Structure 1
Amino acid sequence: MESSIELDRLHFFEQACKISEATYASNPLDADNLIRWAGALLELCQFQSVPDSQKMIQDAISKLEEALSINPKKHNALWCLGNAQTSFAFLTNKEDEAGPYFEKAAQYFQQVVDEDPSNEIYMKSLEISAKPNVKQ
């Protein structure tokens, strides 16, 4: 049963990427679409090998940065960037290599908390980013 749920999730996020790609082709200035696309890529990377996951995360980061260049007020894009940096950090082999990604994530989480200090999810993300648990 669980594998069927995972397969459904995989198909759902693959479809979301296809829809976002089509939307982007007709409206490349839709920041919300870019954020959705990046989110779907971040979900899909969980089903990939480490190198493929890293590529997907980099693609998601690019889309989130593009969304922010279109609309800098999209604080959810900043939050997703923090999550993407954290995900990338956990896929690195060594703590010293992961450090800069965790630092960048913390910067994004601080920015998003500055934008919306009442958001508990943003606050928790910032708190967690201060003490990552990295395996060596």
Structure 2
Amino acid sequence: MDLQPSDFDRMIFFEHARKASEDTYAKNPTDIDNLTRWAGALLELSQFQSVEECKYMIQDAISKLEEVLKINPKKHDALWCLGNAHTSNAFLTPDAEEAKVHFDVAAEYFKKAVAEEPGNELYQKSLEVSAKAPKLHVQMNKPGFGQQMMGTAGGPSTSSSTKAAKKKKNNDVIYDVFGWVILAAGLVAWLGFGKSHVPPPPQL
């Protein structure tokens, strides 16, 4: 996989955070903040993996977040992370019906996170966007979606107004896709890795 320097730095940072969380877990397996950070690091690292490895890491994150909820079922950031994990699973599932099961589970976790912390705008936005996710999934799995993302225009017989409407629709889809990615990326900031006392990664 070809990585941009910034992506490589992120991967190194989250791999270091994952390892630090693993070490902390060995000393204190009931530290729910550590478990949540560990799951967050796994979700971030999953973005750099093959599809199969990505699914495995997401499942690993889900199991850690479920451990958190066994100890404290009201931990809102863990509920929110579970919503993100199930959403990621859904987008990795080509079958629309199977994906919808994941989307429904994700929406339930987002609702619970909002219920625990109603003033949190990130949780509210996640819940709003999750309602659009199944439709977006269907669009993404339609033949030719890749060409839409590249902004291919219609044939010569297409009128300019139809082209404009198609371009607007494609832009809306692209906006939703990137909106979701950006939203999920907020995971890092929200989990507060800066406060987790993770030592800086070694200089390469």
Determine whether 1:39 maps to 2:47. Answer: no
List alignment gaps of at least 5 residues for structure 1.
none
Aligned equivalent of 1:13: 14
5 Å matches for 1:98-113?
Answer: 98-113=99-114
1:116 Cα deviation (Å)? Answer: 1.2
- Return 88-97 or 29-38, whichever deviates more: 88-97
Separation of aligned partners in 1, 2:31 and 2:72: 9
Q: Which residue in 2 is equivalent to 1:51?
A: 52
What is the aligned-residue RMSD (CA, Å)?
1.0
- Unaligned regions of 5+ residues in structure 2, if any? 142-204
Residues in 2 aligned to 1:121 and 1:42: alpha-carbon distance in whole angstroms: 17
CA distance in 1, matches of 2:58, 2:119: 28
Superimposed CA distance per residue, residues 46-95 of structure 1 (whole angstroms, 9 cap, x where no aligned partner): 00011100000000000001011122231100000000000110011121
Give the 3-state SS of the residue equivalent to 1:20 in structure 2: helix
* Partners of 2:111 and 2:30 in 1: CA distance: 26
Q: Give the corresponding residue for 1:127.
A: 128
Q: Deviations over 1:75-124 (max 9, x none)?
A: 10000000000011001112122100000000001111111111111111
Secondary structure in 1 matching 2:4: helix
Range with bigger deviation, 48-57 or 114-123: 114-123
Partner of 2:162: none
Match of 1:114 in 2: 115
Whether 1:92 and 2:93 are equivalent positions in the alignment is: yes
User: Counterpart of 2:70?
Assistant: 69
**Which residue of the partner structure matches residue 182 of structure 2?**
none
Q: Give the fraction of aligned pairs with identical amino acids, expressed as a percent.
A: 62
Corresponding position of 2:149: none
Aligned length: 135
- The CA distance in 1 between the partners of 2:52 and 2:89, in whole Å, is 10
Q: Which runs of 4+ in 1 moved over 4 A?
A: none
What's the secondary structure of 2:18's corresponding residue? helix
The letter for the 2-side match of 1:12 is: F
Q: Secondary structure at the match of 2:119?
A: coil
Q: Which is higher, the Rg of structure 1 or of structure 2?
A: 2
Give the whole-Å Cα distance in 2 for the aligned partners of 1:118 and 1:9.
Answer: 29
Give SS of 1:131's match. helix
